[in-house]
Structure 1
Amino acid sequence: MPTITLDKKDVMKLVGKEIPDDRLKDRISMLGTDLEKVSDSEIIVEIFPNRPDLLSEEGFARALSSFIGVKTGLRKYDVKKSLFKVKVEKSVENVRPFIRCAVLKNVNLSDEAIKSLMQLQEKLHLTHGRKRRKVAIGVHDFDVIKFPLVYKAVKPDLISFVPLGMTAEMNLAQILSKHPKGRDYAFCLDGLEKYPVIIDAKNDVVSFPPIINGIVTQVREETKNLFVDVTGTDVNAVTQALNILVASLADRGAEIYSLDVGGIVSPDLIPRKMKVELSYVNKLLGLSLKQKEFEELLSKMGLGYDKEVLIPAYRGDIIHPVDVVEAAAIAYGYENFQPEIPNLVTIAEENPFEKFKSKIAELLVGLGMIETNTYHITNKESLNKKMNLELSCVELSNALTTDYDVLRSWITPSLMDVLRNNRNREFPQKIFEMGICFKENNETETGVEEFTRLAVLISHTKANFTEIKQMLDYLFNILCLEYKTEDTEHTSFIRGRVGRVVVDGKKLAYIGELSPEVITNWELEMPVAALELNLTELFELILKQKTL
C-alpha cells in the first residue's frame, strides 16, 4: 500500500476548516485509511489500493471534508465541450490500445498544486498503473500544442524528438537505451515492434507513452492551461486515472474541457448509478436505518442519491451493492455499532469437509509436497490459451485489469504460474493446492457454482505419468477408495500419457504429463506431470459410501 505525505496546511485549506489534531487523527483513522503521523506541517497516511482517488491533497481533503460534515454530498464537475480532437489509429490496438484525454484551463499552478500533482502522478503510476505498464499519465502545456493530435504506433527508428531532460534529438530506440526514464520503463514495451506516440498537427512529438514527454510541451511556471493524456492497456484503469487527476485539478479551480478522443467524449465525469435496496443495507449492518438516514450516510462518503445511489466518476472501488453498504458502515462509524450476542445456542464443530481437506494436505506434505495458495481470479490467456484449451469461463463484468478478468475453472494454470515464477529455483519442484473453482450454473442464485479442486504438479527432468500416479495410488489407498483410469484425450496433456480417474462410475480427475507446447507457453523447460481432482465430488462419494 502506498504511503503519502500530505501538506497539512494545504489539506486544511481544501477542507475549508481547521481541525484540531486529536479530532483529525480520530477521523482519518475512521475514514478507512491507515494513519501513520500528524505533525504541525504534515499528514502521513497509508492509502489502501482500492482508493487511488485519495493519493493527493485534493482527493484526501475532498473525502475528509465530506466525512466530517463540512462539504457533504456528491461533488459536481462542469465539463465544457470543446472542438479539439485526438485521432486514434488502429496501429495502437496491439501496442497500447487505450487513450483518454482532457484539457484544463486557468490552472493555478502554485507550489502546493505542483507538489500535489507530481505526487499524484507518481503514486498513480506506481500503484494503479503498475509502474506505467497498465497506465501512464502525461501532463503538457496546452497552449503550445496544435490540434488535432494523432495517437499511433510507429517503428522505433522512424521518429526523433528532444525528450524531457535532454537537449538533443533521439529516436525511440535511443530513448529506451540512453534516457534514464527509457531505461527505467523499457520493460513496458518489451516484445513490441512498434511504439506508441502522440503527435500534434505541427508534427511535434507530444509524448512517447509510457516513457517520456517531448520537451516542446514542457509545463513551465507561466503555464495556465494543461493538456492531459492517459494511455494504457486497460480502459477502465485509464479512464479512472484521468478522472482522478482531472477532479483533483478542478478542486483547485481549474476549468475542465472535453475532447473527441477517437470518437469518445473524454473526460466523462457523469456519476454512475447503482440500485441498492435499503432493506439489503439494514440486513447486512443489523440496523434499522430510514431512507433519509441512509442518504445522509451516503452524503458523508461523497456519494449521492436520486432513486439510485450516485457514484462519482473518480471512485472505482464501488463495483457492487456491498461496497455501498461498506461506505454506509464507515459513515455510520464502526465505533457506534453495538456488539450483540446471537440469540442462538450452538456447539461449535469443525466443518467435515475442512477436516477432509486438512487430511489430504497432511498426506501430500508427508510426500514432500509444498502447498501453495493462489488467486481465484485469473485471465483467459492463462486459463485457456497457455493450456491449449477453449473452456467457457465466468467473466467479471467490471474487471479493473485484463490480468484478472475471469474466475478460474481449474487450478493447474495457477500452479503453472507458480512454477514459472520459480523456474530458477532448485528442482525437483513438487507443489499442490486445494482451492475454489467456478463454473456457470443458471440454477444457482448468482448464476455461478463453486466447487473445490485439488491440483498436484511435479516438475523435474524425469517427471512422468508413473510418478504422479503413484501419488494418486497412495492418496486413495489411505482413503480406502478404489479407482480406475480410463484412456482419454485432453489438449493440455500429451496424447497417450493422460487418463481420466473414475471412482464408483463418476469421473473425478485428469492425470498425466503436460504437453511440451503447454510447458513452452509457460516459459518452462522441465517436464511437468499433473493431477487435478474434484474434491467436492470426491467428498460426496465418500459420504455416500459411508451412508450405504
Structure 2
Amino acid sequence: HSVKSGPRPYIVACTVHGVEFPSEAKLKAFLRAQENWHRDIGQMRRHATLATHDLQSIRFPLVYTIKEAKSFLIHPLNRSVKGTGEAFLRQLVQEANLDRKSRKQTKFSQIYRYLNVLDIEKAMVSNVFSDVMVPIVVDSTPVVISVPPLTNSHDTRLTINTHDILIEVSGINLPLCKQFAELVISWLLENTCPTQSKKNYQDKLTTEEVNNAKTTTEQSQLVNEMDKNLTLKTVNVPPNSLVVRPIRVVDVDMDFNLCVMFPSRSDLTDSKFNTIR
C-alpha cells in the first residue's frame, strides 16, 4: 500500500512564524474559518483537508504514509482520550449512523460523507475497521499528528500562546492543496500579524535539525527547508508581516526525489501577500 495511490495522494506544508492571536475570540475565529474552508474549498473534506499545529509540539522530519487503522495511536482533536485509529474510525462511523438514522436517511449526511473517502464499505458490514487503510502524518518522536481526512492531534492543537504554526494540506491534487494553503496564509496575514517590528528575527538551524532527515521506508517525508551549512540568517521583519518557511516533500521510495516544495517562487505571488523573498 502506498499513500500515493490512497485517498489523499498529495500534500503540501509550510511553517508560519510570528503569529499573534490577540484574544481567544480571534483564535476561535481562525478555527471557524477552517471549518468553512473544509466545507467550501475542501468540499466537506472530500477533496482536501487542512491541519494546523503548534510548531513547538512537533519534531521534524515528518513522514506522510498510509497504515492500517489498528496499527497506530491518535489523540483526536477535542477528544478526551488517546486510542487506536481503529477505535476512532469505528466511533466516527457510529456517530454518522446515528445521525443518518435520526434523519431517516439511507446515506451519511454531508457532515460525515468524508468517511466515504476511505474504503470502509466492507468494514461497515462487519463492524471491523482494523484493516482499513488510513493516511497519517507522523513526527520523529514518533507521534501521529494528523489523520486526514478524519482528525488532527489534540496534543498539537493551537492555543492563544501559539506563535509558530505548521500548516499541512492533503488533497486529491497539488494545485488544490496549494490554493488551500495560500488561503490559510492570507487569513493569518490579515488577522494575526504583530503590530510592532520584531527586530533581528533569527532563523537559527541546529545540528539536530539537520541530522534528523533520517532514511525511512515510508512513502513521503516532509523536511524543513534549511541551510545545510548551519549559517545564521538574521532578518529584520517589518511590522504587519509574517515569516513563512517552506517545507520540502520528498519521495523516500524514489531516492528522496523532490515531490513539491511549498511555498516555492511560483507561490504567494498575488499582490495581497507583498512577498519579500
TM-score higher than 0.5: yes
Using the TM superposition, give the Cα deviation of residue 180 of structure 1 relative to its aligned residue in structure 2, in angstroms: 8.3
Q: Secondary structure at the match of 1:128?
A: coil
Q: Could you report, residue by residue, the CA deviation over 1:28-86 in whole angstroms, capped at 9, with x for unpaired residues?
A: xxxxxxxxxxxxxxxxxxxxxxxxxxxxxxxxxxxxxxxxxxxxxxxxxxxxxxxxxxx
Q: Match for residue 188 of structure 2?
A: 249
Please give the alpha-carbon distance, in whole angstroms, between the structure 1 residues aligned to 2:68 and 2:9.
16
Q: TM-score, normalised by structure 2?
A: 0.61
Given the alignment of the two structures, is residue 119 of structure 1 paired with residue 37 of structure 2, yes or no?
no
Match of 1:201 among 140, 145, 157: 140
Q: Which amino acid aligns with 1:107?
A: V
Please give the alpha-carbon distance, in whole angstroms, between the structure 1 residues aligned to 2:264 and 2:20.
22
Match of 2:116 among 180, 187, 193: 187
Q: Match for residue 169 of structure 1?
A: 82
Using the TM superposition, give the Cα deviation of residue 116 of structure 1 relative to its aligned residue in structure 2, in angstroms: 3.6
Q: Match for residue 91 of structure 1?
A: 2
Q: Match for residue 265 of structure 1?
A: 261
Q: Which amino acid aligns with 2:263?
A: P
Q: Secondary structure at the match of 1:229?
A: strand
Percent of residue pairs bearing the same amino acid type: 22
Q: CA RMSD in A?
A: 2.9
Match of 2:15 among 98, 103, 113: 103
Asked if the contact 1:150–1:199 (Cα under 8 Å) also holds between the matched residues in 2, the reply is yes
Matches within 5 A, 1:268-347: 268=264, 270=266
Pair 239,250 (structure 1): closer, same or farther in 2 beyond 3 Å: same
Matches within 5 A, 1:367-446: none
Pair 169,272 (structure 1): closer, same or farther in 2 beyond 3 Å: closer
The structure with higher relative contact order (CA 8 Å, sep 6+) is 2
Pair 222,116 (structure 1): closer, same or farther in 2 beyond 3 Å: same
Q: Secondary structure at the match of 2:142?
A: coil
Using the TM superposition, give the Cα deviation of residue 228 of structure 1 relative to its aligned residue in structure 2, in angstroms: 0.9
Using the TM superposition, give the Cα deviation of residue 247 of structure 1 relative to its aligned residue in structure 2, in angstroms: 2.3
Using the TM superposition, give the Cα deviation of residue 167 of structure 1 relative to its aligned residue in structure 2, in angstroms: 2.7
Q: Secondary structure at the match of 2:186?
A: helix
Asked if the contact 2:27–2:159 (Cα under 8 Å) also holds between the matched residues in 1, the reply is no
Please give the alpha-carbon distance, in whole angstroms, between the structure 2 residues aligned to 1:154 and 1:107.
33
Q: Match for residue 490 of structure 1?
A: none
Please give the alpha-carbon distance, in whole angstroms, between the structure 2 residues aligned to 1:197 and 1:271.
25
Please give the alpha-carbon distance, in whole angstroms, between the structure 2 residues aligned to 1:271 and 1:231.
17
Using the TM superposition, give the Cα deviation of residue 217 of structure 1 relative to its aligned residue in structure 2, in angstroms: 0.7
Using the TM superposition, give the Cα deviation of residue 136 of structure 1 relative to its aligned residue in structure 2, in angstroms: 0.5
Given the alignment of the two structures, is residue 154 of structure 1 paired with residue 93 of structure 2, yes or no?
no
Q: Which amino acid aligns with 1:261?
A: V
Q: Match for residue 223 of structure 2?
A: none
Q: Which amino acid aligns with 2:2?
A: S
Q: Which runs of 5 or more residues in structure 2 are unaligned?
A: 97-111, 122-131, 194-241, 251-257
Pair 244,201 (structure 1): closer, same or farther in 2 beyond 3 Å: same
Please give the alpha-carbon distance, in whole angstroms, between the structure 2 residues aligned to 1:247 and 1:220.
19
Pair 115,168 (structure 1): closer, same or farther in 2 beyond 3 Å: closer
The structure where helix makes up a greater share of residues is 1
Using the TM superposition, give the Cα deviation of residue 113 of structure 1 relative to its aligned residue in structure 2, in angstroms: 3.5
Q: Which amino acid aligns with 1:114?
A: L
Q: Secondary structure at the match of 2:69?
A: coil
Q: Which runs of 5 or more residues in structure 1 are unaligned?
A: 1-89, 274-301, 305-310, 314-548
Please give the alpha-carbon distance, in whole angstroms, between the structure 1 residues aligned to 2:54 and 2:165.
5
Number of residues of Structure 1 aligned to a counterpart in Structure 2: 190
Q: Match for residue 235 of structure 2?
A: none
Using the TM superposition, give the Cα deviation of residue 266 of structure 1 relative to its aligned residue in structure 2, in angstroms: 1.1
Pair 272,114 (structure 1): closer, same or farther in 2 beyond 3 Å: closer
Q: Which amino acid aligns with 2:249?
A: V
